[in-house]
Every structure is written in structure tokens, then in C-alpha cells.
């Protein structure tokens, strides 16, 4: 196999999703530990120590204990090159999660064994399903009292509508947690409360052998025999076609905090998880092994590091090989260019890269030319990948700056944050940027906006909540919206390309507008 093909085949690019507190950060950290990407796993979020989990770098994340943006990390393990994309756990940032999922080939879902499928898991999972990518499940915190493992599997199947295949099975939980039984090797991995820094050796054992009693206790052994009989009797098989299409999820049990079951999970995932997948573009399918380079922008982030004052654009490479200083063609801008200081991220640390392959994520400095969904490719090609849809905002507020002297910073901050796709901004017709109407998908995005305006742009803002919940673009050309017959609580606004939109307080008002104005065309997404 050529080095080029081998480089692509050994890549695994995946996102981690979970309800906040299920243990996503802890698991990520342990995975990084295996890859030698970090030297010591820190106690998450530093409640008990000063070490912060490496993927939790934004101040607001530390304050609130949630991940609000996705970070990207790469490490090597057992000959594989792994790209992990962290996703915001909170549903208010599900749009960010969706964009991140566009950039990966599989997802890992972390579930708290005591809580089962939680609200946010359900929502994030829906986003995963839209992409039809393989989903691997890690059921975490078995060292605490947990729900019955069969009930947990049934809950995943019923609530998420996906089949499950347990790769291993827990023996007890909480103070009685004795380890896991690996169904493939029929080995027992016995649990000892460790220091969380290394994995424990597996013990080869026949579960019908009473000598196991000294290790896991007779009651647990008999229970395990019964459980295994039930599992094997169910006769489900690990159908890799079902896994690949996202209909069957291989499930692993463990405890991320105690680093128990993490390495078997990692190994199983690497073996079964897909290498970079082909992507659809307007002219057909792009194979990762195509020699021409192509990549698309899925994330833009300004001021990641305050000391740098920069704007980074993240691209997922879909085909070919990227080399530093090579010339690329920016399709939407119709310009040839060199990507400036291409880098790979490890939370706050950046490393300039010399080369990267399909599956990799690169960050490049961006003076403001890229938008989400843009494509770059080898000159002479013109590849456009299927677009990344924007979610329609559901919450709106009128935003002004407190200090009139800060107008310039206000405009800059609002515009840049909107370009990142973190908020959408509108204005009332024929007004300037003195005040804007900001639309968000989740309320917490307002908090992040306010926080970032204060800390990154030094602007205090006034946020006046508005009652609107629905947004519609007017698709009719040349229509004068002021002449429309609208209910008194419907608002006309413009986006920054001067398209007209309507903000509604209820679906009833949308129907009213359509009924009273014949021929009016409204759409939930901006088609321009
Ligand atoms: P998240 O990124 O999904 O939000 O979760 P995170 O890893 O931050 O974990 C949330 C809490 O759960 C952390 O506790 C973490 O130590 C704990 N945790 C993670 N994995 C395990 C596990 O396998 N077993 C146990 N017992 N706990 C685990 P914390 O924020 O430090 O404090 P607290 O919530 O315990 O007070």
C-alpha cells in the first residue's frame, strides 16, 4: 500500500457527544493520555485541583462547567492517527455540534450509567442521526450505583431508536463493581480502584470456574453467567453494515474517571470505526484517496487565544494531501491563495503542520475571507460540498452598546461573532448598526455573546429580550414588506445582505401573513 493511502486509512476522525456531566471531558482526557498527548490526567475542571481538562479552555466554560465550543485534538495510538472533536454538551449549542458532526466520520456517545439517556443526549443524538454516521456508546461511571445494564441498553434502543450490541458487560456496580466481561475474548477485566492513570491487566477466566469467586464473588459470578447466557441467547450479531450506517451501536461499559475500560474501548473503536469516508459534492462523490486536495470550512473562531487576537478557520480535509505553503483555490472567493500558518490544535497549544491528509482538521489564520461551508481545493478544480445548513434562531433580543464611544468595537464584535455562526444579526430597515437584533438558537448563546463582547471587544451591551420565536425569509423578489398585511406583533427586519425577513411571535401569525398576502413566499432558511 502506498504511504499516501496508508496515511488516510490509519486516520479516525470522530466527535464526542454527551449530556453535560456524563463524563465526556474525562473520557477525552483519558484517551489523550493513551496517545501520550498529555502527560497526566487532571481532575476535570479543577474543583479539587488546579489542573483544567485540556479541552475546556474557554473561561465561560470553566465558569459554567459546560463546553460551549468544540475543540479539536489529534494524537497517535497503536499506529492510528486520531482526531477527536469535542462538542458542546449543552443543547443551546446544538448548531455548533451539528457543524462539528459534519466534519467527522463517527461519533462517540457517553452515557452516565446512573442516569441513562438524558435530555441533551436525546437532542444531540438526533443531530447524529441526521448524518447517518456510526455511533459508539461508552456507558460511564460504573464505579457508582448504576441502572441495570439490560435496562440501560433497552433505554438506548427505545429512546433513541437504535439497536445496541454490548461489546462487554459490567459485573456489579458502585461499591460492588467488579469489572467487565469482554464478550469477544471471554476475558474478565477486573476492576480495582486505581489512580486513574493507567489501565488494569485483563484476567483470562472461564466464568463457570468457581475459582473466579475469590475475584468477583460467587453472587456476581452466577449473575454474570446468567447475563452472558441471556446476551448470547439473544443471538444478536455485530453486523458491521448496521454499525456503518448508524443503525447499530457497539456499547462499552467502564469508568472514565478510574480509567477503567477506556483502553478496550479505544481499541475496539479504532478497529471498528471508519477511516475517512467519501463526501458528496455537487458533481458527485469525492473519495478521500483522490489525489486532488479538497477541504471545507466547518468552524470559525475569533480570539481563541486573547494574546493572539486572531481569527482561525477550521477545515476538514476531505481528499488528498495538504502541504504547507502549497497553493489552493478558494472556490467561493474565486481566488488562488496560500493557507496562512496551517496548524493543528491541542486545546490552547498550536503546532504548525507541514502536511495533513484526508480526515485531518487544520486551522488556518483568516483575515475574514472564509464563511462556514466554503471549500478550498487544488487549483484547477472547483469542488463544492453539500452545504452546512443554518438552524433557524428561536430567541431574539435587541442589543445596544452602553457606551456610545464604543460604537466601532460594538460593530466589529457583533459582525465577527455573527460570521462565526455563533449568533445571527439583523437590523430594522433603514437603520444603522447602533443597535442590532440578535437571533440565537439557544438562550445561553446570549450569555456567551455578552461575555465575549465584554472580554474580547471591551464593550458592555444592553440586552432587551424580544417576544419573537419564528423567523422567515421573504423569498419574493422586489416586494415592499411595508405594504404587507401583517399582524401588529410581526416585525420586519433585514439581514446584512439586505434581504427582508419577518419575525413572528407565533405560528398563528405566520399563517395569518400567508393567508392575508396572496403569493407571499416565506422560507425558514436563507437561500441567498
Ligand atoms: P462532561 O464533560 O460530560 O460535562 O463531564 P466531565 O468529564 O466534566 O465529568 C463530570 C463529573 O463526573 C466530574 O466530576 C467527573 O470527575 C465525574 N466523572 C467522570 N467520569 C466518572 C466516572 O467514571 N466515575 C465517577 N464516579 N465520576 C466520574 P466533578 O465535576 O469533578 O465533580 P462532581 O460533579 O463529582 O462534584
Enumerate the H helices of 132-239 as residue ranges.
Answer: 149-160, 213-216, 218-234
Judge whether 509 and 516 are in contact, CB under 8 Å.
Answer: no
Homologous superfamily of 2-170+237-272: P-loop containing nucleotide triphosphate hydrolases (3.40.50.300)
Say what the pLDDT of residue 196 is. 53
Judge whether 376 and 315 are in contact, CB under 8 Å.
Answer: yes
**Probe residue for ligand 1, chosen from 31, 33, 43, 44 as the CB with the greatest number of ligand atoms within 8 Å:** 44
Q: Summarize pLDDT for 487-512 with one digit per residue, the tens.
A: 999 999 998 778 899 999 999 999 99
Ligand 1 centroid, distance to 299 Cα (angstroms): 27
Closest CA to ligand 1's atom 25: 141
Q: Which residue ranges does the chain devote to CATH 2.40.30.10?
A: 280-377
Say what the pLDDT of residue 64 is. 52
Homologous superfamily of 280-377: Translation factors (2.40.30.10)
Binding site membership of 398 for ligand 1 (Cβ less than 6 Å): no
Binding site membership of 70 for ligand 1 (Cβ less than 6 Å): no
Highest mean pLDDT among 76-85, 229-238, 298-307, 333-342: 76-85
Question: What percentage of residues in the chain have a pLDDT greater than 70?
Answer: 87
pLDDT confidence band for 461 (50 / 70 / 90): very high
Binding site membership of 24 for ligand 1 (Cβ less than 6 Å): yes
Homologous superfamily of 395-523: Peptide chain release factor 3, domain III (3.30.70.3280)
Closest CA to ligand 1's atom 32: 47
Say what the pLDDT of residue 505 is. 96
Say what the pLDDT of residue 367 is. 78
Whether pTM exceeds 0.85: no
Q: Summarize pLDDT for 49-75 with one digit per residue, the tens.
A: 344 454 444 555 555 544 445 577 888
Closest CA to ligand 1's atom 14: 44
Judge whether 332 and 348 are in contact, CB under 8 Å.
Answer: no
Instruction: Find how far residue 331's CA is from the centre of its chain.
Output: 25
Highest mean pLDDT among 13-22, 101-110, 184-193, 431-440: 101-110
Say what the pLDDT of residue 304 is. 61
Say what the pLDDT of residue 527 is. 56
Ligand 1 centroid, distance to 188 Cα (angstroms): 25
| For residues 406-428, average pLDDT | 88
Q: Which residue ranges does the chain devote to CATH 3.30.70.3280?
A: 395-523
Cα 507 to Cα 492: distance, rounded to the nearest angstrom: 16
Amino acid at each position: 500500500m502506498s504511504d499516501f493511502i496508508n496515511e488516510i486509512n490509519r486516520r479516525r476522525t470522530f466527535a464526542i457527544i454527551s449530556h453535560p456531566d456524563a463524563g465526556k471531558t474525562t473520557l477525552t482526557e483519558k484517551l489523550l493520555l493513551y496517545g501520550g498527548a498529555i502527560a497526566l490526567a487532571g481532575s476535570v475542571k479543577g474543583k479539587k485541583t488546579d489542573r483544567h481538562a485540556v479541552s475546556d479552555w474557554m473561561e465561560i466554560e470553566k465558569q459554567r462547567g459546560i463546553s460551549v465550543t468544540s475543540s479539536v485534538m489529534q494524537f497517535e495510538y497503536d499506529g492510528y492517527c486520531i482526531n477527536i472533536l469535542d462538542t458542546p454538551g449543552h443543547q443551546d449549542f446544538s448548531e455548533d455540534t451539528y457543524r462539528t458532526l459534519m466534519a467527522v466520520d463517527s461519533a462517540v456517545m457517553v452515557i452516565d450509567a446512573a442516569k441513562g439517556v438524558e435530555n441533551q443526549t436525546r437532542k444531540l443524538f438526533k443531530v447524529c442521526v441526521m448524518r447517518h454516521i456510526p455511533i459508539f456508546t461508552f456507558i460511564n461511571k460504573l464505579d457508582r450505583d448504576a441502572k441495570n445494564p439490560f435496562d440501560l441498553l433497552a433505554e438506548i434502543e427505545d429512546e433513541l431508536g437504535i439497536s445496541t450490541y454490548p461489546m462487554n458487560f459490567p459485573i456489579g456496580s458502585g461499591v460492588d463493581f467488579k469489572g467487565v466481561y469482554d464478550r469477544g475474548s471471554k476475558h474478565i477485566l477486573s476492576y480495582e480502584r486505581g489512580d486513574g492513570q493507567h489501565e488494569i491487566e485483563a484476567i483470562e477466566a472461564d466464568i463457570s470456574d468457581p475459582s473466579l469467586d475469590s475475584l468477583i464473588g460467587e453472587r456476581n459470578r452466577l449473575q454474570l453467567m446468567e447475563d452472558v447466557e441471556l446476551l448470547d441467547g439473544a443471538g444478536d450479531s455485530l453486523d458491521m453494515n448496521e454499525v456503518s450506517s448508524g443503525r447499530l451501536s457497539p456499547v462499552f461499559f467502564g469508568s472514565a474517571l478510574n480509567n477503567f475500560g477506556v483502553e478496550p474501548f479505544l481499541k475496539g473503536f479504532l478497529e471498528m470505526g471508519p477511516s475517512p469516508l467519501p463526501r458528496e459534492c455537487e458533481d458527485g462523490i469525492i473519495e478521500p484517496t483522490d489525489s486532488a486536495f479538497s477541504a471545507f470550512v466547518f468552524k470559525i473562531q475569533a480570539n481563541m487565544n486573547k494574546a493572539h487576537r486572531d481569527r482561525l478557520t477550521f477545515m476538514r480535509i476531505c481528499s488528498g494531501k495538504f502541504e504547507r505553503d502549497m497553493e489552493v483555490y478558494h472556490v467561493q472567493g474565486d481566488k488562488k491563495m496560500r493557507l496562512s500558518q496551517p496548524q493543528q490544535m491541542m486545546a490552547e497549544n498550536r503546532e504548525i503542520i507541514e502536511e495533513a491528509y484526508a480526515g485531518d482538521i487544520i486551522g488556518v489564520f483568516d483575515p475574514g475571507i472564509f464563511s462556514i461551508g466554503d471549500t478550498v481545493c487544488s487549483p484547477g478544480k472547483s469542488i463544492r460540498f453539500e452545504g452546512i445548513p443554518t438552524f433557524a434562531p428561536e430567541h431574539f433580543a435587541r442589543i445596544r452598546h452602553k457606551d456610545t464611544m464604543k460604537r466601532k468595537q460594538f460593530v466589529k464584535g457583533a459582525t465577527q461573532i455573527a460570521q462565526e455562526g455563533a449568533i445571527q444579526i439583523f437590523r430594522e430597515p433603514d437603520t444603522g448598526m447602533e443597535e442590532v437584533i440578535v437571533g440565537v438558537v439557544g438562550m445561553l448563546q446570549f450569555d456567551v455573546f455578552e461575555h465575549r463582547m465584554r472580554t474580547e471587544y471591551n464593550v458592555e451591551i444592553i440586552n432587551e429580550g424580544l417576544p419573537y420565536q419564528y423567523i422567515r425569509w421573504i423569498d419574493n423578489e422586489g416586494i415592499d414588506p411595508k405594504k404587507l398585511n401583517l399582524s401588529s406583533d410581526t416585525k420586519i427586519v433585514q439581514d446584512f445582505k439586505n434581504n427582508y425577513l419577518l419575525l413572528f411571535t407565533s405560528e398563528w401569525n405566520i399563517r395569518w401573513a400567508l393567508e392575508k398576502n396572496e403569493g407571499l413566499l416565506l422560507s425558514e432558511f436563507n437561500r441567498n
